[in-house]
Structure 1
Amino acid sequence: MQGGTPTTRKVMVIAEPTRESAIALQYTLSHAIFEQDELILLHVGKYPSSRRNTFSTFMRRPKVGSSSAIACSDVGGGNVDFLEEMKHACKVAQPKLLVSVKRVEMEGKDKAGVILFLSKMLNIDLIFIGQRRSLSSSILGCRRPGGSMRGVEDTAEYLIENSNCNCVGVQKKGQNAGYLLNTKTHKNFWLLA
């Protein structure tokens, strides 16, 4: 902070029509972003998405004390664009927040590379991504002894390890059990919130 005015950060949430992405957005809005920040919802994938709109389904379950979860239940519908619904949830939660949506269509398999490129190009300060972990990967870990990843690399893990800015993988631990956060320096950090 210089001269009493807060600095503006560019915060990116990797947006997908999944429960994990909705959790990452929910965490970002409630714990990590300030009204002077700029929030960018980035979706990298094929269009049009034929996947069911799981964002509205997840956000319909009201969280105690959360007006954004309740307000989003009114927006639901099978053909609603999940990015516009996520943007609406942001505006309900923090009306003064500057929110933009970026869509990148891609056919290849280097989604993480595209996200890293865009984060550098847009000068992003902080990335949030919903993270899904199976029990076996949590217990055994994702890395081989030589340090390489097994099979196709997990996008969240790749971003966490290779991003120039801070990248946070977010998981929800039960209805009221808080969040499990992963960064390059802190693995499986449990936040009761």
Structure 2
Amino acid sequence: MEVATHVPKKVMVVAELTRESASALQWALSHAVVENDELFLLHVEQPISWRNTISTFLRKPSSPVFGAANSSMEGSGGEDVDFVDVMKKACEIAQPKVRVHIERVEIDQGKDKALAILLKSRMLSIDLLVIGQRRRLSNTILKCKLNGMSTKGIDTAEYLIENSKCTCVGVMKKGHNGYLLNTKKQRNFWLLA
């Protein structure tokens, strides 16, 4: 009798200091990665952004997803802890047999975040791209097609879903018991946690 072997895959989660990103990571850890996979946490930084200025004051995320990892890193001498490092530690606790890497991309103000994510995912030959998604009224009403358009004014998650060479999943946490998932082929797919 032959035993099926798992071919390790590369999964990338867009790491941001948002609730949506924490939900995407939580979904990826519980539903997308398995033993021997590689998980890449990609953080896109804009060095002269007002968000980066504010995020330096918010180094430790308050999400319960990172509770164990955050508490284990607090005793490290009182220095600031980067939220991406906390995410990595949470991943290592949740999935100890998955290799976790941190990738950072720095883009200039006004440059396209979605294109930077696509480029990095292609460079690393990513099999599955996961991004936290926030439902916006304008996206729901307009439902604009993204064929060859610039990403300016378009939701980053929607652009990635439509234009990624690999499978891209937009994840929205719905209550305490489920996720709403979006891919190129499947929209608003409800998944119980």
Deviations 1:58-88 (A, max 9, x none): 23xxxxxxxx654135147994201100000
Mapping of 1:41-60 within 5 angstroms?
A: 41-47=41-47, 49-50=52-53, 51=55, 52-53=57-58, 56-59=61-64
Looking at structure 1, the residues matched to 60 and 158 of structure 2 have their Cα atoms a distance apart, in angstroms, of 22
User: Where does the alignment leave 5 or more consecutive residues of structure 2 unmatched?
Assistant: none
Superposition RMSD on alpha carbons, in Å? 2.8
Q: Which amino acid aligns with 2:89?
A: H
Q: Which amino acid aligns with 2:162?
A: E
Q: Which residue of 2 aligns with 1:152?
A: 153
Q: Which residue of 2 aligns with 1:71?
A: 68
Q: TM (normalized to structure 1)?
A: 0.83
| Match status 1:179 vs 2:179 | yes
Seq. identity, %: 53
Mapping of 1:38-187 within 5 angstroms?
A: 38-47=38-47, 49-50=52-53, 51=55, 52-53=57-58, 56-59=61-64, 69-74=66-71, 75=73, 79-107=80-108, 108-138=110-140, 140-143=141-144, 152-174=153-175, 176-187=176-187
Shift in Å at residue 120 of structure 1? Answer: 1.1
Q: Which residue of 2 aligns with 1:192?
A: 192
User: Where does the alignment leave 5 or more consecutive residues of structure 1 unmatched?
Assistant: 60-67
Looking at structure 1, the residues matched to 15 and 28 of structure 2 have their Cα atoms a distance apart, in angstroms, of 12
Q: Quick check: 69-78 or 178-187, which moved more?
A: 69-78
Count, aligned residues? 182
Aligned residues of 1:44 and 1:111 also touching (Cα < 8 A)? yes
